[in-house]
Amino acid sequence: MKELSAELKGAPGKLHALKGDVSKEEDILAAFDWVKKNLGRIDVLVNNAGVLYLSMLTDGETSHWKQMFDLNVLGLSICTREAFKLMKEKGVDDGHIIHINSIDGHMPVSVPGLAHYFASKHAVTVLTEGLRRELVQLGSKIRVTSISPGVVDTDMFRSFIDGTQVSEDEFPALKSEDIANAVTYALGTPPHVQNGLIVVGLARRAELVEELSTQLKGAPGKLHAFKGDASKEEDILAAFDWIKKNLGRIDVLVNNAAILHMLSLMDENTSQWRQMFDLNVLGLSICTREAFKLMKEKGVDDGHIIHINGVLGHTLGNLPGLIPYVTTKYAVTVLTEGLRRELVQLGSKIRVTRWSGRVALVTGASVGIGAAIVRELVKNGLIVVGLARRAELVEELSAELKDSPGKLHALKGDLTKEEDILAAFDWIKKNLGRIDVLVNNAGVLYLSMLTGGETSQWKQIFDLNVIGLSISSREAFKLMKEKGVDDGHIIHINSVAGHSLVNFPGLAPYSASKHASISPGGVDTDMVKSVTGQGPLPEGEFPLLQAEDIANAVTYVLGTPPHVQVHEITIRPIGEKY
């Protein structure tokens, strides 16, 4: 721990090392006493300590069972109690308690000898929900989160492998950093969210950037205008030199500059070909190199390099005269992946955005969660198709987002009708050439009792929430497979009603449809308003999430590296009682 503290000495925060055994109550109490005396308060607790032994129920060691429960369950409980007491004493009502659980806390035992470990993790699942309900009862806004990873490449995993005949190849493992990223997301500061940045706008028409700077003068960040041509190396070097001298560092690079000329390969216009390659490929490459050099020099290891690509970087368009331009965009796709691999090889944590210019389909995109997801994806540079019965609302959203890096296409369709779904995928194939992301968001809810409900309403719920989702998923997979998309993503917007029967009369058919995935609790949408008859909900009785909260979860999922499979995210509003 002291070595880690020394390694992080240049970081904005500070790490203190404390020696203690989390299976011993006296050590835990001593740790919280030190925190109180030396730091005065606690805002976040991450219960990560755990132990695993292979131990059969028929002949296992009592000492091993006791160690697992003393650390994995009792130690976690004592730490939670002491953290809550100190938060309450110091008036911390926006704290966060995070339990590092396991997928083993949600499934039956699958490996002989792991029954006690699974039992300890199931206990963590129950304790998480129990704590959430206690906090609601106390009227506290302290949050509690359980993060349940699969296999992670840790000493615990390696000791388990050593004790079995199983090879590491049979268990593809996450990295510890993937879980750390999930923690930062849960804390509300995911790596992709950055506000109040100091921005340098490089452009040939710098006067337009200056006008934008004036327009943004009340914003938390600051915009500097720098005149330069991103197709000229000397201008790029001058810009980075100015940044280094005046701002001292760079954290984010957005390679957005590009030019398009409609040219046939037979045209004798070499100068326009050269302009496209000099700006779209070479300029991007030089900017990337200089940004990385400055990041490395200044110790910025959490920077971000974003290439604004285009759908034509992934598929050959139908318009004549686009081949040279498409070539430059394919080059950007290759450069993005090449840079990502180089950074991995160098052990750098600088990120490269891989979804810009890719194609996403969002169902139920006209309002609420769907519209919020569309906004986030388009702002992150994706080409989005919004499929909805009220396509005119998606068109309005498209107009609102016209200056964003991505693009939104509105398609009219009813997800309960297979022919509409097939027509949508046919349009995507013909006009965009591929699909990379599917967000199954469309859904419907009727209050309908099993004892006297309408058959037509039950049929609508299942036709949309289950069958429509299934057809969309099938067609997305078929098109991905046909186009060689092997890193695509299918996201189901589920519901907490898909994990337990909510204590609300008339919701049984809806809950059944959601058992069939991001799972939010109540969200302030038209669907909720339809259930409540448009009237206001009793104050404090039904706290609701905002649609943007779900959209942020989608962008978090898409932002995880290719080796990470986020299987389930459950999001509840603070104070939810059910």
Q: Look at phi and psi of residue 225 and say left if phi exceeds 0, alpha if psi is from -120 to 50, else beta.
A: beta
Token digits of residue 294 = 């400055």
Tokens of 3: 């070595």
Distance, CA of 15 to CA of 38 (rounded, Å)? 13
For residues 120 and 69, the answer to whether their CB atoms sit within 8 Å is yes
Are 373 and 554 in contact, with CB atoms under 8 Å apart?
yes
**Alpha helices in 40-165, H assignment, sequence order:** 62-69, 76-89, 115-137, 155-162
Residue 384 has a CB neighbour count (10 Å cut-off) of 29
What whole-number distance in Å separates Cα of residue 541 and Cα of residue 137?
Answer: 12
The long-range contacts involving 328-333, CB below 8 angstroms and separated by at least 24 positions, are 328/258, 328/276, 328/277, 328/280, 328/281, 329/280, 329/357, 331/280, 331/281, 332/280, 332/281, 332/284, 332/307, 332/357, 333/309, 333/357
Alpha helices in 485-546 (DSSP H): 508-514, 526-531
* Beta-ladder partners of 578: none
Distance, in Å, from the CA atom of 95 to the CA atom of 141, rounded to the nearest integer, reads 8
- Distance of alpha carbon 237 from alpha carbon 297, whole angstroms: 15
Q: What is residue 455's three-state secondary structure?
A: helix
Active-site residue, 446 included: no
Give strand ranges (E) for 156-315. 198-203, 222-227, 252-255, 304-307
Identify which of 387, 357, 355, 383 has the alpha carbon closest to the alpha carbon of residue 371.
Answer: 387
Side chain identity at residue 167, one-letter code? S
Strand ranges inside 140-258, DSSP E: 143-147, 198-203, 222-227, 252-255
Give the CB-side neighbour count of residue 115, counting CA atoms within 13 A.
9
Point out the catalytic residue in the list 53, 510, 556, 578. 510
| 36 neighbors 30 (Cβ within 8 angstroms) | no
**Helix segments in 451-534, DSSP class H:** 455-462, 469-482, 508-514, 526-531
Adjacent-strand bridge partners of 361: 385, 438
Q: Give the orientation angle of helix 323-345 with respect to helix 284-297, to 10 degrees.
A: 20
Residues recognised as catalytic: 510
